[in-house]
Structure 1
Amino acid sequence: MTWTTAASDPNASGARRAGERAELRRGLEAVLMVVDQPATEYDLARAFDRSVQEITDTLEELSREYTEQGRGFDLRHVAEGWRFYTRPEHADIVEHFLKEGQEVRLTQAALETLAVVAYRQPVSRGRVSAVRGVNCDGVMRTLVLRGLVEETGQDPESGALLFGTTNYFLDRLGLRGLDELPDLAPFLPDDIEGIDDTGERTT
């Protein structure tokens, strides 16, 4: 009689590989949903402890599937990295939605985040999140889409995107310049300079 162990059973081995691949796909989707700049295959491979080729193959597979399924978003390889984007054919409805949303009152979280950007600009998302003590990626995207905050460049050391307020922000507040902002800076943490652009404390 021949006994077949899980280690030697090709079906079990195949199922395990399929499960690992499915988990990798889900993990990549989760990470790419929150990145504020394209993620490189190398960085993703290091984070998931997988080969660069496996990461590349999986990302290309996901991108093809989203296109074949007619999803409203696209996974693209740009600027040496991967990131989710809205498909161009939906630009009109997205623009209409955002314009309609201009008059919607900001949430408390959005107001707090906007205050941090206004008083600490130029500032990265990581530092904004560190000041508030919670992840602010989603709120920052909302402020950018509403035209209150915009990208102002990149940190020369970390490469993180930096953000500042817009002229529309000044217009909404009836200000001629940032020097007319109320003196709220003393109420913001002074030790933000000890936090790097990922939100981690450096000292």
Structure 2
Amino acid sequence: MEQERQPQGKAVCWTLKLWSVAVISMLLLSTCFISSCIVTYQFMMNKPSRRLSELHTYHSSLTCFSEGTMVSEKMWGCCPNHWKSFGSSCYLISTKENFWSISEQNCIQMGAHLVVINTEAEQNFITQQLDESFTYFLGLSDPQGNGKWQWIDNTPSSQNVRFWHPQEPNLPEERCASIVYWTPLKWGWNNVFCDNKYYSICEMRKIYI
């Protein structure tokens, strides 16, 4: 009987050891998983915080809009006060006339750039904010005057929607694009001299928190 108890005792001992190893391994894995979740969460939370901090260097206050209800979705989209919200961007209509290059610099100083129009819906939204009496610079230019129009983010105009007025663009010397209201054609794009002074439209990415 004593000899039978010894193997059984050893078997129980090994079983307990295996269970202990398994439990410790699971605890270690759980700890690693929780740690990685915390790090990921902090990284995701810090990213909008950094962006918010950047925006606050240019803008004293922001306006935020509820844009989602699911836990997995970003909940709030923010734009600086007095900027218009549409899609994933914020827009500011400048009421000060300037050259194209200075208009772009003014946008950059606010953490933005001259507007890049990607869809008809965006074009329609923007024109609803404009005064038909004025011309506005877009972030579209033909630097070499060779018909290769490109957006300020280097996107070729051929890859975006285009809303040129009939027969535009025409003169190769007119290397900057504007949006202007012509009767009876309504709103459309026109190429103009870059050193003319016009109003402009700035665009920046919306910040999500």
Report the TM range for the smaller structure's normalisation: under 0.3
With structure 1 as the length reference, what TM-score do the two structures score?
0.28
- Work out which of the two has the higher radius of gyration on C-alpha atoms and give 1 or 2: 2
Kindly indicate which of the two structures has a greater share of residues assigned to helix.
1
More strand by share: 2
